[in-house]
Structure 1
Amino acid sequence: MSKLSKTNREKLRFISTATVATFLFKKGLKNQFIQNVVPLKKGRPTMVGEAFTLRYIPAREDLNTIAVFKDPDHPQRVAVETCPEGAVLVIDSRKNARAASAGSILATRLMKRGVAGIVTDGGFRDSAEIADLDFSAYHNRPSAPTNLTLHQAIAINEPIGCGDVAVFPGDIILGDDDGVMVIPVHLIDEVVQECSKMTLYEEFVMEQVQNGKTIVGLYPLTDDAIGNQFEIWKKSR
């Protein structure tokens, strides 16, 4: 059973990765933002889903020929066909984009199956085609060569490293125009509750700053009088 409730999923769509990063920092978690991974296309709705993982190791030529795709149990193919609806496929490509982690056909299949998105610390081939899909996709940079030239799919739905971040199956993945955050699943209720409050306060702050107010005492909130103004502002909304 999914540990990400429908309510939390919808609330996370209105919370930024920056806000989550700040909250997790306060909890002592400093390394939850996947490094050197960007959206293929900005401006998409926020990506939210539970992590379903795929791990690559360096390809060994005698074991990773084109013939491996004849095997119906090939891990890459199995991952694409079994990643749950609403989940995010997260790929450990060893931060190596010299060969593609996947291409537009596999991305399209994931989209059609209702998967929420795909993330790799490597690259995608057919990146322009993937960018045109109604589908969230994040990678290091475009890469034309097939994954077989460099990567060997070895394991599905086990702990991986992606962009220097530990990703465990079931962790909550949040992606926006800035990048991708990994949220430990046991913290999700607290993250949603506190980050929703932080997001509302940030809206208040932005309104105040646009009206010419100083950030001193306002951001971060250190002035009780401003705190009282915020409470009045909330009631007026």
Structure 2
Amino acid sequence: MSRLKFLLFIFLLWIIRSDVQSQQISKEELIFLTPEWKGERFPDGRPKVPDNIVKRMKSVSQEEAWAVMKNAGYGYQVAEGWQLINPDSVLVGRAVTATFMPARPDVWGAIDARGKKAGKKGQNSWPVDLLVKGDVYVADQFGAHRNGPTIGDNVGNAIYAKSGNGIVYDGALRDIEGLKEIGGFTSFYSSYDPSYHNPPGDLNTMIIGINQPTRIRTVTVMPGDIVLGKQGIVSFIPPHLAEKVVKTSEVVRLRDMFGHLRLREGKYSAGQIDAKWSDEIEKDFSKWLNDHINELPVPKEQIQELLKDRTW
């Protein structure tokens, strides 16, 4: 291959890469904006919290997650006021973010042309193409209602097929009956409307950002945040705090189990359990952990680590 052809080939690759990443944050910028995360990342730079932490997050209460985040200085990570699909289920996964804005013809046209050049179709499907198992699609649809829905049962099925999860969507959904038929599509959304986005003659929605920082209610959400949706609210846990949230929750859960058991047995009073535990209770707790290590709803390895660090 001649030098000229080689340079032309590199240039074309750069053009294609730029088009494919339409509206998507660069890897370098995403790494820059998530400096506290020291672990593995996806190829695009998104933090990749380990699967076992994501799985264990499902048992974390909103109060436990909030307390850890609040103590770390993250006091505004909870979004509330949702309608739900599968309200008795828990939504957990790594955030893939999308930001929509009211459409402006010149900007929409430029964005759409770049996407079509890369072989893309409707803008509402672009973030969906990036999803992998364990992701949660998190979209700021600026609360759009009439002629606002970018997700119905077709896109919903595509999201679930790729991620195995539902969504957090600050806007209106359509085809709610069809979405409810997707068994595991646990979702938090703002409203329902049977219309759809960008009907003929009414250009009203365009995608501005994919896997960029986005706003969901009063929360700044970053790609790779761990989404915890349960009890009607959604917490967005920064990746570097995810393991601490899980481990703190597990310790609290074990202490609660032990405390409630001893209260039912009448061994200790409510005042003793509800206050700072005495050395006697702490020793009893350690023995209880060791005696029941294979029966407790916390990984055995985590209990062993807890016992190793205890002085009682």
TM-score by length of 2: 0.65
1:13 equivalent to 2:68? Answer: no
2: CA distance between counterparts of 1:215 and 1:80?
Answer: 51
Which residues of structure 1 form unaligned runs of 5+?
Answer: none
User: CA shift at 1:198, angstroms?
Assistant: 1.9
Contact 1:79–1:156 under 8 Å retained in 2: yes
Match for residue 223 of structure 1?
277
Identity %: 22
Match for residue 120 of structure 1?
169
Identify the structure with the greater strand proportion.
1
Match for residue 299 of structure 2?
none
Q: CA RMSD in A?
A: 3.0
Find 2:178's aligned residue among 123, 126, 129.
Answer: 129
1: CA distance between counterparts of 2:269 and 2:123?
Answer: 55
1:47 equivalent to 2:91? Answer: yes
1:93 equivalent to 2:141? Answer: yes
Which residues of structure 2 form unaligned runs of 5+?
Answer: 1-40, 43-47, 293-312
1: CA distance between counterparts of 2:83 and 2:253?
Answer: 23
TM-score by length of 1: 0.82
1:140 equivalent to 2:180? Answer: no
- In the TM superposition, structure 1's runs of 4+ consecutive aligned residues that sit over 6 Å from their partners are 61-65, 209-214
Contact 1:37–1:163 under 8 Å retained in 2: no
Structure 1, residues 131-185: CA drift from partner, whole Å, max 9, x if none? 2212221112222221336432222111000121001111111222332211111
After TM superposition, the structure 1 = structure 2 runs for residues 138-217 of structure 1, keeping only pairs within 5 Å, are 138-148=188-198, 150-207=204-261, 216-217=271-272
Structure 1, residues 1-28: CA drift from partner, whole Å, max 9, x if none? 4522122122112222332112212222
Match for residue 109 of structure 1?
158
Amino acid at match of 1:191: V
Find 2:82's aligned residue among 29, 37, 55.
Answer: 37
Find 2:127's aligned residue among 67, 79, 95.
Answer: 79
Structure 1, residues 60-84: CA drift from partner, whole Å, max 9, x if none? 367769xx69942543211112222
Of structures 1 and 2, the one with the larger relative CO (CA 8 A, separation 6+) is: 1
